[in-house]
Amino acid sequence: MLAAPAGTFLRVVHLVWASSMKAKFAFAALLVACAVSITGCHGDPFASFDRRACAIQSGPGKFDPQHCPEGWTLYPAPGPTFKGTNIPSDYFYYSWVDRENTLGLGRDTPIINGTGSDSLIAFDPARKQFITLRVPYPMGFYTRSMDGRIDDPNGGWKGRGVWAGNNNRVIWHTEGGKSTTGFVAKFQVRPDPLAK
């Protein structure tokens, strides 16, 4: 599902931005090794960088990730924005990469948590589309963590899933009141609606 164009290597990464030269060169080395890289960022949840679009392909300038603004593509998040701006009103606390296809959307699918929208939001770089997985009940699913798990490698979609915790510090303010307790939600995607 996440196939890169022929002759390229698609690698999905999560980077922590830092101002140190060491971090800049580590990022540049990653870009040299991969034709297309995808990273999580603040504001727009994902950005991709395609080295093939850069005017400078050799020399010292290729190691500076700021030398090629034409190589960057930002993917705005689905959902509402603050009035009069393009700033998303959702809060993307954490990004995670499903390296083993535990969710069922394909290997190396990047996922962010829509902390303010009761959801996990996956991104399909091949189609350049977001897929929103929402927790309908109880309202107030405030996730800041997720991880994939394969319980049965031969069990198909039933043997795997992505788990996300409700990490609200004041859980009694969510739907259900004082008796509400925290929970972990399991997300699974069937290969088709009638799959058993």
Most confident of 71-80, 103-112, 131-140, 164-173: 103-112
Instruction: Return the domain boundaries, the chain.
Output: 10-75, 92-187
State yes or no: pLDDT of 33 exceeds 60: no
Most confident of 15-19, 78-82, 145-149: 145-149
- For residue 153, the model assigns a pLDDT of 92
State yes or no: pLDDT of 107 exceeds 70: yes
Per the CB < 8 A criterion, the answer to whether 132 and 146 are in contact is: no
State yes or no: pLDDT of 149 exceeds 90: yes
- For residue 103, the model assigns a pLDDT of 92
Q: What is the dihedral of CA 58, 61, 62, 68, to 10 degrees?
A: -120
Structure confidence by residue, pLDDT tens digits, 162-188: 999 887 777 667 777 777 777 888 999
Structural tokens at position 195: 């799959």
- For residue 41, the model assigns a pLDDT of 64
Nearest to 95 by CA among 142, 28, 134, 147: 147
**Strand bridging mode 36-40 / 46-50:** antiparallel
Structure confidence by residue, pLDDT tens digits, 74-92: 888 888 888 998 888 887 8
Tokens 């390229």, residue located: 8
**Residue 72 host element (H or E):** strand 72-75
Most confident of 6-20, 133-147, 164-178: 133-147
Q: Check residue 178 and give left, alpha or beta (phi > 0: left; psi -120 to 50: alpha).
A: alpha
- For residue 27, the model assigns a pLDDT of 38
Q: What is the dihedral of CA 50, 109, 17, 53, to 10 degrees?
A: 0
pTM across the whole model: 0.72
